[in-house]
Amino acid sequence: MRLIEAVREGLREEMAADPGVFLIGQDIGINGGVFRVTDGLLEEFGPGRVIDSPLAESGMVGVAIGAALNGMRPVVEIQFADFIFPAFNQLVSEAARMHYRTNGEFPVPMVIRAPYGGGVRGGLYHSQSVEAYFAHVPGLKVVVPSSPYDAKGLLKAAIRDDNPVLFFEHKLAYNTVRGEVPDGDYTVPIGEAVVRREGRNLTLISYGLSVHHCLEAAETLAAEGISCEVVDLRTVSPLDTRAFLESVRKTGRACIVHEDNLTGGVGAEVAAIIAKDAFEYLDAPVQRVAAPDVPSFPYSPTLEDALLPGPPDIVRVARELAAY
Amino acid sequence: MPASDGIEPLRGSGLDGTDAQRIYRYMLLARAISEKSWLLTRQGRVLFTMPCDGQEAADVASAYALDRGNDFIVPYARSLGAMLVKGMTTQEVMLNMFGKAADPNSGGRQMPMHWGYKKLGIISMGSSVATTIPRAAGVALASKLRKQNAVTMVYFGEGSASEGDFHEGLAFAGVHRLPVVFFCNNNGWATSVPVNLQSAEPQVAKRAQGYGFPGVTIDGLDPLTVYQAVKAAVDLARSGEGPTLVEAMTIRMMPHSSSDDHLRYRTQEELDAERKLDPLPRFRDFLISANLLNEESDQTMSDSVDQEVEDAIELADAAPSPDPDSAMDRVYAP
Ligand SMILES: Cc1ncc(C[n+]2csc(CCOP(=O)(O)OP(=O)(O)O)c2C)c(N)n1
Ligand SMILES: [Mg+2]
């Protein structure tokens, strides 16, 4: 099954199981979403549960928060993660702190789904990774699945979670990443990382589409005798620190990989945790592979390709690490 | 003004004399709490307040038009009168003012006058103005989807009607004909910025037209007028006919907040002239002329209100503060 179908299956099953689940977004109705994630859901569930919103992200998220406070479980689709910023205030000032500021009286069970990521020649405004902005915010959970199995299971868990969850789907993964997805109901717990590949010499820590780049790099490196462990975070907030610390304590070398730009990214946080809690196990400095600090990916293929981090970058840094 | 025996509908408002007396008491109570809170900030016993003086008629009478056990309020910081009508006790308000653990609004986590009380159908507000407006549309959307027969009323000031969230919330509510009433308290000021600097069209109610539903501008200093207009809007909303924007013209008799000095941008003469419009003596005179109040019963009512506030302050002041060990609790829902 393709990742896009897994997301759709997750939505469909949760909508069928719980009448409180409804969708709100732009072009998600008759058009099925610009990526077709919600294709067929309008026909199946009707316009009361698949709502084409006015073109207003803050309003959309604000409405979803209100509905969540009154017994519903809204799932918002932001058409591209790049367009989430008009709703930043609603997410950070309202959704994230509603439970805290009401001393637990008002949870906000809401999911914000958004396609993220570059490599699709989408230019500066259809290519961004925005998870770090939200991973910084206590009260939000941030999930970035890498496989169809996880996409469905994590989405179902996110919808059932009583907290606001941001759910980022790599748009390039929608139709290129395939995998086994069992029939029927299952969830993947939020906040649990998974080891995708076992290894001895170094640990690659990543999430989302970049996990596949790590796996590809690990294959190349294996041929050179460098054995890589690949940890897929799956959730970038709250982080499953135990999972990557355990791996780093075993391998003694760590490299965090993400498509988001370097400074203040998730990698910085993971590196800080490793430095504090696995310091005496380290045989080399913690490394990061990320996009350079440029405002998103430019349009021209020659320009974008110059900046997109990929398997060769990981291989290069891993060799340095292994040789350290 | 025709004399009334206390149960005749007053001026066709749909309210009888007993309602009018209740409204008057709520107005007195809101004023007393507002004034006392101001004094408490001057004494340093309370750290912040946002007075509602001049707005009592608008807040109290609008909330009085709701089905109080069933409908929702999404308040703003000057909605004290509406909170009282919705069932928050003076004691609870004072626990909020003092930031005590038993404050049902936030357990001392938010500044004073930041309301939210699930049991009473009061949806939590933060400080970021107008974020409440799409939220109210969302509460109303859920009511519609869940076939709850509830109306949601959201309160905000005319300055906040310049925020994008105001427009986004109205657009959504209009499209889906949601059971929501947008209640704008137009006191002419957003802190120090006068309404003519908010928009070249300062009549906020006109903006409803842009979203396909009615907008009305009313005298927000007369509770009967407010009640009538809001009741009509609430009935419309409840019958499935969609939202109304009600703009109540009010006055701001006090500074924006306890941290503000309004003499930096308003003259004493202007403030003195505005004070003559105070809705409280005006309604008192009306009630006396309608034989619903006399000097003596007015005094008795004022005394009981003052006592209620004094008692609440004493209890709230003595109530325990939140446990510092709980400061990290409840960041996430379990
Ligand atoms: C988004 C946001 N910007 C600025 C402020 C600071 N602020 C608090 S109240 C206020 C003025 C509000 O004026 P209005 O909406 O007319 O309500 P009023 O205070 O007059 O009742 C401002 C600027 C805020 N709380 N939120
Ligand atoms: Mg104002």
Is B275 part of any domain?
no
B54 CB-near residues (< 8 Å, 6+ apart): B187, B221, B250, B251, B252, B253, B254, B274, B277, B278, B279
What local confidence, expressed as pLDDT, does residue B10 receive?
84
CA-to-CA distance for B192 and A298, rounded, in angstroms? 44
CA distances from residue B45 to A65, A176, B16 in whole angstroms, order as listed: 35, 63, 40
- Minimum-distance CB partner of B136 among A66, A86, A141: A66
Look at strands B193-194 and B72-74 and give their pairing.
unpaired
Separation CA A210–CA A131 (nearest Å): 13
Q: Does A48 sit within 8 Å of B128, measured CB to CB?
A: no
Structural domain span for residue B163: 17-258+295-318
Sheet containing strand A202-206, strands side by side: A194-197, A228-232, A202-206, A254-261, A287-291
Would you say residue B232 lies in a domain?
yes
Q: What angle do CA B117, B119, B123 make, to 5 degrees?
A: 40
d(CA B137, CA A22): 15
Q: What does the alpha-carbon distance between residue A51 and residue A16 come to, in Å, rounded to a whole number?
A: 16
What number of H helices and E strands is found in chain A?
A: 13, 12
Regions of chain B where pLDDT drops below 70: 1-9
Across the interface, of A67, A72, A98, the residue whose CB is closest to B124 is A98
- CB contacts < 8 Å between A and B, how many? 153
3-state secondary structure of B72: strand
Element (H, E) at B246: strand B244-249
Q: Report the C-alpha gap between B207 and B170 in whole angstroms.
A: 9
| Ligand 1 atom closest to B160 (CA) | 15
Q: Which residue CA neighbors atom 26 of ligand 1 most closely?
A: B128
Nearest atom in ligand 1 to the alpha carbon of residue B161 is 15
What is the pLDDT averaged over residues A157-170? 98
Report domain extents, chain A.
Answer: 3-176, 194-323
Instruction: Give the DSSP letter string of A173-217.
Output: HHHH-B----SS-----TT--EEEE--SSEEEEE-TTHHHHHHHH
Q: What letter would DSSP give residue B1?
A: -
Mapped onto helix, strand or coil, the DSSP state of residue A289 is strand
Which residues fall inside 5 Å of ion ligand 2, going by CB?
Answer: B 157-159, 187, 189-190
Assess whether pLDDT exceeds 60 at residue A103: yes
Rounded mean pLDDT, A92-114: 98
State how many domains chain B has.
1
Give the separation between CA B26 and CA B246, rounded to whole angstroms: 21
Nearest one of A22, A7, A134 to A73, comparing CA atoms: A22
CA angle B168–B173–B176, rounded 5-degree value? 125
Q: Is the peptide bond before A238 cis (omega within 30 degrees of 0)?
A: yes
Strand partners, A261: A291
What gap in Å lies between CA B32 and CA B26, rounded to an integer? 10
Distances (CA, A) of A303 to A171, A297, B117, B186, B271: 19, 8, 53, 52, 62
Contact A100 B330 (CB under 8 A): yes
Q: Is B256 a catalytic residue?
A: yes
How many residues would you count in chain A? 324
Residues of A in contact with B171 (CB under 8 A): 54, 56, 59
- Tell the residue number behind the tokens 């859920």, with chain if given: B142
* A69: nearest Cα among B82, B126, B322: B126
Q: Residue B45: helix, strand or coil by DSSP?
A: coil
DSSP assigned state of B127: S
Q: Report CB contact under 8 Å: B333, A99.
A: yes
Q: Which of chain B's residues have a Cβ under 8 Å away from the Cβ of A161?
A: 333
- Measured between CA atoms, the residue of chain B closest to residue A72 is B142
Report the residue from A86, A90, A106 with minimal CB separation from B118.
A106
Comparing CB atoms, the residue among A22, A98, A139 nearest residue B145 is A22
From A179, A157, A181, A155, select the one nearest A168 (Cα to Cα).
Answer: A155
Ligand 2 midpoint to CA B187 (Å): 5
Whether residue B292 has its Cβ less than 6 Å from ligand 1: no
B248: domain CATH number is: 3.40.50.970
A186: phi then psi, degrees, rounded to nearest 5: -160, 160
Pocket flag, ligand 1, residue B191 (CB < 6 Å): yes
What are the catalytic residues of A? Answer: 126
Residues contacting residue A199 through CB under 8 Å, at least 6 positions apart:
A218, A227, A228, A229, A230, A251
Q: Name the residue with the closest Cα to ligand 1, atom 20.
A: B190
pLDDT recorded at residue B9: 66
ipTM given for this complex: 0.93
Q: For residue B184, what pLDDT is reported?
A: 98
Average pLDDT over residues A171-186: 97
Pairing of strands A164-170, A194-197: unpaired
**What residues of chain B lie within 8 A of the CB of A68, using their CB?**
138
pLDDT number for residue B11:
79
Q: What is the DSSP string of B257-306?
A: STT--GGGTS-HHHHHHHHTT-HHHHHHHHHHHTTS--HHHHHHHHHHHH
One-character DSSP codes across B138-194: HHHHHHHHTT----EEEEEETTGGGSHHHHHHHHHHHHTT-SEEEEEEE-SEETTEE
Q: What is residue B248's three-state secondary structure?
A: strand
Q: Which of B160, B251, B265 to mutate to test the pocket of ligand 1 (most atoms within 8 A of CB)?
A: B160
* Contact residues on chain A for B139, CB-CB shorter than 8 A: 66-67, 69-70
A14-32 tens-digit pLDDT: 999 999 999 999 999 999 9
Contact B181, B151 (CB under 8 A): yes
User: Is position B330 within any domain?
Assistant: no
Residue range A194-323, CATH number = 3.40.50.920
Where is B199: in which H helix or E strand? Answer: none
Superfamily per CATH, domain A3-176 = Thiamin diphosphate (ThDP)-binding fold, Pyr/PP domains (3.40.50.970)
